[in-house]
Structure 1
Amino acid sequence: MKLSELDPDTLSREEITTLMFHDTIDDYQTGECILVFGAKTIHRVIKAADLYHDKRAPKILVSGSAARWGENEEPEAIWMRDRLVELGVPPEDILLELEAANTTENVLASLMVLQRSIGLNRINRLLIVSSPYHMKRCHLTLTTYMPDWISYSFCSDDRESGQRNNWWKDEREKARVMKELQSIQRYVKDGILKDGDVRR
């Protein structure tokens, strides 16, 4: 069955878990850069810093504008950079993307930053950091817009609730997962994300 053909309201908890979390488990490989999708949440920053200090990748790219917070607000990428520096990441190892206002733009705008700073031809693997519920959309967006030779390690943040094994136990995290599933399906139907077969 195609992703666009699913009816989220008929899926069991096990089917939703497989759909939303199966392809986004960390494989513990190393890469050329850690890409952090924009948000002013410390969970993602701590995860990125841990990956950097574990020598999983030599650079961190933080992506995100101030669009969701207001014109006079600090961009997400600047906020994340400052927290990373506080966590011991050298500023020269942090790349900034300051234009993106959503997940699709995170990927598209990061392409240019990666090209200019590293060279896309030199990138074999990116480590992807976001919230657990957001990782499936990150995966689909990356595979829709990024060069097909790049591989990914999906390193969701380490929050206690909202993980593969407990997302349904917290009402807030459960609502996030269900909203994300509906959004993903809408983006697929609109042609923003590639459609594809799903494992159920």
Structure 2
Amino acid sequence: MNAVLPPELRDDVRTLWDYHDLGHELRRCDVGVGLGGHDLGVATHTAELFHAGWFPRIVFTGANAPTTVERFPRGEAVHFRAHALELGVPDSAVLLETRATNTGENITNTRDLLAAQGISAREVMLVSRPYQQRRAYATAKKLWPEAEFVCSARPLPVDEYVADIGDPDRVINMLVGDTQRITRYAELGFATPQEVPTEVRAAYDRLVAAGYTSRALPE
């Protein structure tokens, strides 16, 4: 049986899902950055974008988190690269950043890696989980202000994504955590401020009240 969202939560989950989908129009970039995490679909989508000609080079970035170490014991970036090579991406087109343990480090370490390699990256495509787009964009704009960014993720409706991941609670908790971080990280100076519409705040509050806080930062 496919994993499904609880019907009473679906509207609020979709509200947060749509908020984090930036809907950027793709344009050719100097590099595509596949942000590590538990979702191997990020590597799949990065390979698809590479084959479509949107960028000539890939950086996969990510070490491990407690939620990924069992699935990707050699590190997120290493497993993402191996998957991309299986999908026909040439080894020569891939760089690895294997130390980052959060999105800020994904951005700064990738920036520094490209600079050390003498690679100019003025136009960067951030490839992430669908609900990570807004936070990744806000973080990159803060930490790498000299570059321009386009965000992309697998174009899946939330119900299809939940079925693919197979764990509705995990997806809802991640959505709640990323929504909280939009405001909190801007307050801490880690990211640029983003508008949070009233309906998004209300949906977030209801999901928090329903107990979906395992990925939330302490208040």
Q: Is 1:94 aligned with 2:91?
A: no
Match of 1:43 in 2: 41
Output aligned runs, 1:1-200, within 5 Å: 16=16, 19-21=19-21, 24-68=22-66, 69=69, 73-119=73-119, 122-148=120-146, 150-161=147-158, 171-172=168-169, 173-197=171-195
- Residues 140 and 191, structure 2, Cα contact 8 Å, conserved in 1: no
Higher relative contact order (CA 8 A, sep 6+): 1
Query: Cα offset for 1:32?
Result: 0.7
AA partner of residue 104 (structure 1): G
Q: 1:178 to 1:127 in 2, by over 3 A?
A: same
- Residues 40 and 79, structure 1, Cα contact 8 Å, conserved in 2: no
- Residues 62 and 81, structure 1, Cα contact 8 Å, conserved in 2: yes
Q: How many matched pairs?
A: 178
Answer with 187-196 or 154-163: which moved more. Answer: 154-163
Q: 1:118 to 1:160 in 2, by over 3 A?
A: farther
Percent identity, aligned pairs only?
22
Provide the aligned C-alpha RMSD in A: 2.7
Gaps of 5+ in 2: 1-11, 161-166, 199-219
- 3-state SS of the aligned residue for 2:158? coil
TM-score with structure 1 setting the length: 0.77
User: For the residues of structure 1 that align with 2:134 and 2:85, how far apart are their CA atoms?
Assistant: 28
User: For the residues of structure 2 that align with 1:47 and 1:142, how far apart are their CA atoms?
Assistant: 20
Query: Cα offset for 1:155?
Result: 0.8
User: For the residues of structure 2 that align with 1:99 and 1:38, how far apart are their CA atoms?
Assistant: 11
- Residues 132 and 162, structure 1, Cα contact 8 Å, conserved in 2: no
- 3-state SS of the aligned residue for 1:80? helix
User: For the residues of structure 2 that align with 1:50 and 1:184, how far apart are their CA atoms?
Assistant: 28
Query: Cα offset for 1:86?
Result: 0.4
User: For the residues of structure 2 that align with 1:199 and 1:124, how far apart are their CA atoms?
Assistant: 31
Gaps of 5+ in 1: 1-11, 164-169
